Structure 1
Amino acid sequence: MDRSEPRPEDRHIPVMRDRVVDLLAPGIEAARAAGRAPLALDGTLGMGGHTQALLERFEDLSVIGVDRDPHALAMAAERLGPLAERLVPFHGTYDEVPQALAEAGAEGLDAALYDLGVSSYQLDDRERGFAYSYDAPLDMRMDTTAARSAEDLVAELDEAELRRIIRRDGEERFAGPIARAIVRAREQAPITTTGRLVEVIREAVPVSAGATGGHPAKRTFQALRIAVNEELDILERAMPAALDALHVGGRLVVMSYHSLEDRIAKRHLVQWATSTAPPGFPVVLPEHEPVVRMLTRGTERPTEQEIEENRRASSAKVRAVEKIRVSRTTA
């Protein structure tokens, strides 16, 4: 790395670091009590900030660090230094828990963290094309080896599919006009940069909408990023995959940054925390008992001080559960 550039640890402040570690800690302690070497999963390794905090607190802990971005795996290893000896890197997506465990030669987990969304360094890397605030190639791939970019989606999807994605994944009320504007604009010339896409969106969205809804391109960029990286589909698979991999007493923490992610996390966690016995049934059989115990009431949010130190933490929501009986939610 060019030493004129800031080090990874200087550019990244892990969101709610101490609270996340505190929530996961009892699962790690339970493994010790059972005579087992504790193992955690950081399903979204990024620059390794949360993993670093875990490895520093627990000297016998190993962490499987999952990330689809090869550059992130390299940066995290550099950040961790000697601690990286207890990191098992896995290049893939966070729904691939069985594969990650197999590569680590492990059977189960004692703690798992999903810190969702795009990482800070990806947002800051202009060539990645995640941000609408400056002109860059229209890419948005978290895994730079993946085949399809945002440019490909904008160029290839028909108007109906563009409208569906922008409405569903961006919750954008002007999805129809934006989709039509994209199709018209690409007939004149390919849309290959974030700056050009922003221009197209500005022309489609009423000026008055910006007074209350923030930047007019915000939701469309979110929708394209989610679609390019299949984020919601992966999260749907990742939730049960993590639960099934946890030992009884293990803990799962999910940190989301927008309502679509949080709804998925909430739905799974509430379902697992609820008895499946028929209402009024006199005896609840073990297989109908809840699988998890809620550790958070609703969601927990960053403190004002944390938001002051890291503005990107402002939208974070944390949910956490402890596994209380054996489960099998996936086929």
Structure 2
Amino acid sequence: MKSISLIALCCVMVVFGGLPFTSNAQLDPLFYVKTCPQLHTIVQDIIRNVTRQDPRMPASLIRLHFHDCFVQGCDASVLLNNTATIESEQEAAPNINSLRGFNVVNRIKLAVDNACPNLVSCADILTLAAEKSSVMTGGPSWPVPLGRRDSLTANRALANKSLPAPFFSLTQLKSAFAAQGLNTVDLVTLSGAHTFGKARCRFITDRLYNFNNTGQPDPTLNTAYLQQLQIQCPQNGSGDVRVAFDPITPGRLDKQFYNNLQVKKGLLQSDQELFSTPDADTISLVNTLHEINY
């Protein structure tokens, strides 16, 4: 299990390093060291200031980066708005009225361009923002490879097809990640980002009241946790009410996500599938990541 632990920890630190990029150029953490030495400080300072007013923002920035990387690679295509020739990914079903943090990326880009005009791509800014967000909330740091180029196109259809849904089975999750060149270790590790931030009630209502059209709750939900969620998300209530992914340490990027799965307190069906699918190879990975300290 030691080798699995080391691999999993590397996945946490690299985060999106295994996803495809739009450029074949060699990426380098020192890409801007001479041309924009202030880059890391600018990104870090802005996110820190924003987080004081909006504690959810680090989770939102990491999610924004993930949703970017799953479509055409980590190329900032998710930032593109609708035009005469572009159908924005922001209006794809997994993204619409859901993704946030665009204003923070714009704010960082403006500050970076003031210091280093027209040098740093939005794709690199978004990638750096994800790493800084991790560190500020207790998660790991990693050397971010830089030198990406921004996409000039978006792909809404691919966003609808590629991004995993909150009701996916383990088989569907593995398929979605495999399409990005990611394996089961990557799946379990990256799912750990659901240790902080919030989800809307609409994504869990079926689990609470009518799982798989049975008229009953999802049997893999902890009974006490089910009752708590039903109070927060009443059957005929607003689907836009937000619930913390992790009721224990909702503002920290830590390993509590895996602890929650072990006691049937995964908020999304797709998360609990990692531990509650009978005889799944992901169960041992959840147990291993539960033990890792970073």
Task: Tell me, yes or no, whether TM beats 0.5.
Answer: no
TM-score normalised by L of structure 2: 0.30
Greater C-alpha radius of gyration: 1
Identify the structure with bigger relative contact order (alpha carbons < 8 Å, sequence gap 6+): 2
TM-score normalised by L of structure 1: 0.28
